[in-house]
Amino acid sequence: MKILTVLVCVHSNNKLHDELLIESLKSLEKQTFKNFETVIVLDECWENTEKKILSEITLDYKLYHKEKKQGLSYAKNYGLSKINTDLVCFLDADDLYLENKLEKQLEYLKNNDVDFLGTHALNRELNNEVFFNSCFNSDEYLNHDEIEKIINIENVLTHGSMMIKTECLKNLGGYNDVRGMEDWDLWKRAIKLGYKFGQINDRLYVYTLHTSVAR
């Protein structure tokens, strides 16, 4: 039985976005931990996106169509409604996981009582395979107290890196429609209700710059 789902929400209407999505999904295929499923929400995509996935991706995935784009929070909540595993992770459709991301996070959860677990990140420019460190030092914002002190001032967590207990997300009612800040809003609400956060000091997520649009 699978304990983990990776949720990928994508709005694609051109070849570039399709290519970025396939690269993202292939980073899931390379994970050292294999016992997970992937839920892909096509959020008002053109017909070529599904064809590309069907022809190039061998993951264990479920594909859902959301015909009318309402915003990223709606797409995420729709995807969450399709998930039954204990844990959920997120992968933005233009970003990457490093190969041992899921394995390292699951190992951390075995030994630490947290509900929301992130990792530090690497950045890359579009069409550039050179990765460089994000603006945060990898020894910053690792435990709950550090995150709680700063979270109302600055969003120090990378949403796509998060591994979250699904029950917590559903208890919070999922994401609010706060365009471009739905993740930051979620962290603040979760901490206010007493959920515990942690962050791994490894950089296990790759964020692609200059491709995301608030939606």
The reply to whether CATH 3.40.50.300 applies to domain 4-208 is no
Tell me how far CA of residue 213 lies from CA of 6, 42, 52, 109, 210, in angstroms.
21, 16, 22, 32, 8
DSSP assignment, residue 147?
H
What CA dihedral angle connects 85, 152, 197 and 92, to 10 degrees? 40
Place of tokens 């070849």: 15
| 40, two tokens | 């892909």
Q: Is pLDDT of 211 > 80?
A: no
Residue 78 CB neighbour total at 10 angstroms: 18
DSSP assignment, residue 210?
T
pLDDT tens digits along 18-72: 999 999 999 999 999 999 999 999 999 999 999 999 999 999 999 999 988 888 9
pLDDT tens digits along 139-187: 999 999 999 999 999 999 999 999 999 999 999 999 999 887 999 999 9
Structural domain boundaries of the chain?
Answer: 4-208
Single-letter residue type at 5: T
